Chains A and B, each alone.
Chain A
């Protein structure tokens, strides 16, 4: 689970090592990455909205 989250976060920043990538592609299920990706995207947007709302106060 944590490894999936880490990979998706790496994708968000655009940083990933070859070794980790190969692990992902050999062991992970695509669905897990897609779902995690969508969840993290929503979280990301939500965090920014909260941040902006807070900053605007």
Chain B
């Protein structure tokens, strides 16, 4: 009974408390010219439907009320009227032509990705996005950062529950950015409502789309094509910055990438590798193999106390670098850099009772990848 009252409260609150923005109810106008055009089309066709609906349902309910059998209505016997029929065929055709013209113009605009000033490769993976700034040597993965404890309800859910990532895609405003989109495994779909960009990422194929953002801000979306167990946990976050700020960010990322590349050649200690490995593991591996390496068989084998893994370091490296064909395990040779692979393998071989004591050096991994 108490919970019933709580529902009523929630319903009445949500009905009265909707003074928040229109985004809660309707499609967002968004922050690009295209998204505003689409919003316009959406509202136009919506009102067209409302008007037609009022006329048709109005006529229907009038007839239902006026010609009730119980009020002694006598049925007429007409059953066709060609000119009326032609008319009500012609009017919808005209309305549809009227809709098709602006829709065609908008669609042409959406398909014109020429003259882009920046190319970003977006790769879908079970279950994260990888962003690569083409020609800039900057690439990173973007994983959901909402902790599992919030999903299970052990911890209070934050404001951006399920719509937050460890590293957002950073883009400049007022600049035409072209997206090249593909996938490493199954079909995903990259969507940010405020940018009105939704495009399937398809393994083996590259799709194009583009965006020119008008306002700085943080825009959130999600994967919209069912892509497996964690389809619901694959958010997209775009951080749009002023152009100078973006240039600064990009320069810093380039520097960090160069530093990381240098790190491949030096000798790493167990401690630092395991520490780095733990964060890589939690971001990349734990969605399938679980936080404590316990896996969820049969699809995702356990890593803790996995005898084959413990005994054979070469086998372990091969699976991480090259993946398992025909199974869900992807190849990480291009998704993670040698330092990250070495770190996560070292971590896995020494965590949760896998006390092998092995240390895998980034240089070894780099060699394996080069082969």
Contacts and interface: CB of A to CB of B under 8 A. Distances in A.
User: Is chain B in direct contact with chain A in the complex (CB below 8 A)?
Assistant: yes
B66 interface: no
A18 B89 CA distance: 17
B108 A15 contact: no
Contact of B89 (A13, A17, A55): A13
B86 A55 contact: no
B357 to A, nearest CB: 64
Interface residues of B, number: 8
A14 B108 contact: no
Contact of B82 (A14, A15, A55, A56): A15
A23 to B, nearest CB: 13
A55 B104 contact: yes
Tell me if A's interface is mostly helix, strand, loop or mixed: helix
Nearest to B108: A56
Interface in B66-100: 79-80, 82, 85-86, 89
Interface in A5-53: 13-15, 17-18
A18 B104 contact: no
A15 B82 CA distance: 7
A15 B79 CA distance: 13
B108 A17 contact: no
A49 to B, nearest CB: 14
Interface in B88-125: 89, 104, 108
Contacts of B80: 17-18
A55 B104 CA distance: 7
A18 B78 CA distance: 12
Nearest to B82: A17
Contacts of B79: 18
Contacts of A18: 79-80
Contacts of B86: 15
B100 to A, nearest CB: 9
A48 to B, nearest CB: 11
A14 B104 contact: no
13 contacts: A13-B89, A14-B89, A15-B82, A15-B85, A15-B86, A15-B89, A17-B80, A17-B82, A18-B79, A18-B80, A55-B104, A55-B108, A56-B108
| Nearest 10 A/B pairs, CB to CB | A15-B85, A17-B82, A13-B89, A55-B104, A15-B89, A18-B80, A15-B86, A17-B80, A56-B108, A14-B89
Given A55-B104, A55-B108, 6 more contacts: A13-B89, A14-B89, A15-B82, A15-B85, A18-B80, A56-B108
